[in-house]
Amino acid sequence: MFLQDPGIYYEVHGKGTSLVLLNGIMMNTLSWVEHVGRLQDDYQLIVYDMRDQGQSGRLEPGYHISIHAEDLKRLLDHLNIKKANICGLSYGGQVALIFSLKYPELVEKLVLANTSAHVDRYLLSMGQMWKRAAQLYDGEAFFDLALISIYSRSFYNSHYDWLAKGRQLFKNFLTKEWFDGFIRLASSNEMYDVRGDLSQIKNQTLLIASQEDIITPYSQMLEMSRAIVNSQIVCIPDAGHAAFLEKIDTFCTLLKGFVSK
């Protein structure tokens, strides 16, 4: 389904308590297929593509990541949802933090998975590397250069055949439009920093970290947890930044346990 203004593709699955899943930067609604199957019997599950992702509209260069928080507000208004549980992953977690700070009355519980409260020099440099890779407009090259940092070493070694299929999909389906959208997304959060505002978050919050995540390491997420008053943190062992895929059952169990209790 489409929200015509501002041009957002979204899907609603199941019934019950509303749970919104916010994409990471390289994701789209298809990235949540396995999770939808595990969660739709318990929740009204909302997945959508942010602008510059998937089937949603495109943006002009130079926007700030906070534009996606305003789009989420429009989507919830469109669906007549007064309050929702929000789960943001990585870039989507940054959007979730911005949204929760601006619209706390619309948030039931907050889940931040593999999320940072600011873009430090290391993450900024990684974003620059990803953008350089995207500017090659070559799906295989982008996969080889950008994806290795997302998965844990053990998952990469044990699931290489599965990952190789993804490499082929990148080659076949990533278009210039996709790469240009990704570059704009990766530029939108370079000045993102909400560390000074974390104490304002009063919603019950779960932070999901991963033992082998080099992009949003456990140590940084632990600092976030200490700053958010009503929060708890868990760390998934033997998983990297893409723990939501590497450990789908664990991820969904944590999500359901926190949202439903």
Sheet holding 204-210, edge to edge: 2-3, 8-13, 43-48, 17-22, 84-89, 107-113, 204-210, 231-236
Residue 48 is predicted with a pLDDT of 98
pLDDT in tens, 91-142: 999 999 999 999 999 999 999 999 999 999 999 999 999 999 999 999 999 9
**The pLDDT of residue 251:** 98
User: 51-55, 98-102, 166-170, 233-237: which has the minimum mean pLDDT?
Assistant: 166-170
pLDDT for the residue numbered 134: 98
Each residue's pLDDT tens digit, 209-230: 999 999 999 999 999 999 999 9
Cα–chain-centroid distance for residue 95? 8
What's residue 5's pLDDT? 86
Alpha-carbon distance 180 to 61, whole Å?
9
Strand 2-3 to 8-13 pairing = antiparallel
Residue at token pair 């996606």: 68
Taking the C-alpha atoms of residue 216 and residue 119, their distance in angstroms, rounded to an integer, is: 10
Contact 236, 207 (CB under 8 A): no
Cβ contacts of 83 within 8 Å, gap of 6 or more: 18, 105, 106, 107, 108
The model's confidence at residue 261, banded by pLDDT at 50, 70 and 90, is confident
pLDDT, averaged across the chain: 97
Q: Residue 98: its pLDDT value, please?
A: 98
Tell me the per-residue pLDDT of 64-90, one tens digit each, with 9 for 90 and over: 999 999 999 999 999 999 999 999 999
Class of the 2-119+192-260 domain?
alpha beta
Is the pTM higher than 0.95? yes
- The stretch 160-180 carries a mean pLDDT of 94
pLDDT band at 205 (very low <50, low <70, confident <90, very high): very high
Largest CA distance in the chain: 47
Q: What percent of the chain has pLDDT over 90?
A: 98
Domain boundary assignment for the chain: 2-119+192-260
